[in-house]
Amino acid sequence: MMQQTSTEQLSIEQPVDEKGAKRGQWTYADYLRLPNDGKRYEIINGVLYMANAPSYNHQFAVTKLARLLDEHVDQHKLGVVLVAPFEIHLSETAKPVQPDVFFIPAERQPKMGDKYFEGAPDLIIEVISPSAIRTDRYIKFAAYELAGVREYWLVDPRLRFIEVYTRSSDTAEYELEGQFVRREQ
């Protein structure tokens, strides 16, 4: 088995064992054979990505965002807000992904007991970790855009900003809706 070290999010570039897939050839069947080792695995365009346990700042931001969003969604009976780890099967080329926080409207809400959600949530929020900037900003951005996720937020707890992207009705591509910075008081 290939040893993974150093960064929080890595792309596995060689087989993990005799039966493992090579870079660019990972499938959901390969994913199902991975160990249940507490790490978060995602496959995008045949590449396996692994995330170790996140930092305090990351989890603090995830918890705050999920709680605030969930309060609004519950109050207005809009659907459900969930957090990783929970599988989303966006498409055959992005299956599974496990966004930090996401919103699914009531009419498409998973049923109790479901092990994954098939399709694109309306909103995905990724909290950036220093070692996963490229993955969140480019790889996941493109996968979510292609799959039809309506709104994508990138949150940087260290720099204290949120970038909000929405899909253009003309091109179906993300456009930057705004950048929001928390000012010190």
Is there a single domain that holds both residue 35 and residue 60? Answer: no
Is there a single domain that holds both residue 113 and residue 36? Answer: no
Task: Note the pLDDT tens digit of each residue in 23-39.
Answer: 678 999 999 999 888 88
Is there a single domain that holds both residue 174 and residue 86? Answer: yes
Is there a single domain that holds both residue 77 and residue 118? Answer: yes
Is there a single domain that holds both residue 21 and residue 40? Answer: yes
Is there a single domain that holds both residue 134 and residue 75? Answer: yes
Per the structure, the complete domain to which residue 104 belongs is given by 56-181
Does residue 3 sit within a domain?
A: no
Number of domains in the chain: 2
Contact present, 24 and 46 (Cβ < 8 Å): yes
Distance CA 169, CA 173 (A): 8
Residue 9: pLDDT over 80: no
Distance CA 31, CA 159 (A): 34
Q: Which of 154, 141, 147 is nearest to 121 (CA)?
A: 147
Does residue 121 sit within a domain?
A: yes
Residue 10: pLDDT over 50: no
Task: Note the pLDDT tens digit of each residue in 57-90.
Answer: 999 999 999 999 999 999 999 999 999 999 999 9
- The verdict on whether omega for the bond into residue 96 sits within 30 degrees of 0, i.e. cis, is yes
Is there a single domain that holds both residue 42 and residue 14? Answer: yes
Q: Which of 121, 132, 164 is nearest to 58 (CA)?
A: 132
Is there a single domain that holds both residue 155 and residue 121? Answer: yes
Does residue 63 sit within a domain?
A: yes
Does residue 38 sit within a domain?
A: yes
Is there a single domain that holds both residue 34 and residue 110? Answer: no
Q: Which CATH number goes with the domain that contains 72?
A: 3.90.1570.10
Residue 43: pLDDT over 90: yes
Is there a single domain that holds both residue 44 and residue 132? Answer: no
Residue 12: pLDDT over 60: no
Q: Which of 19, 1, 22, 84 is nearest to 11 (CA)?
A: 22
Is there a single domain that holds both residue 144 and residue 73? Answer: yes
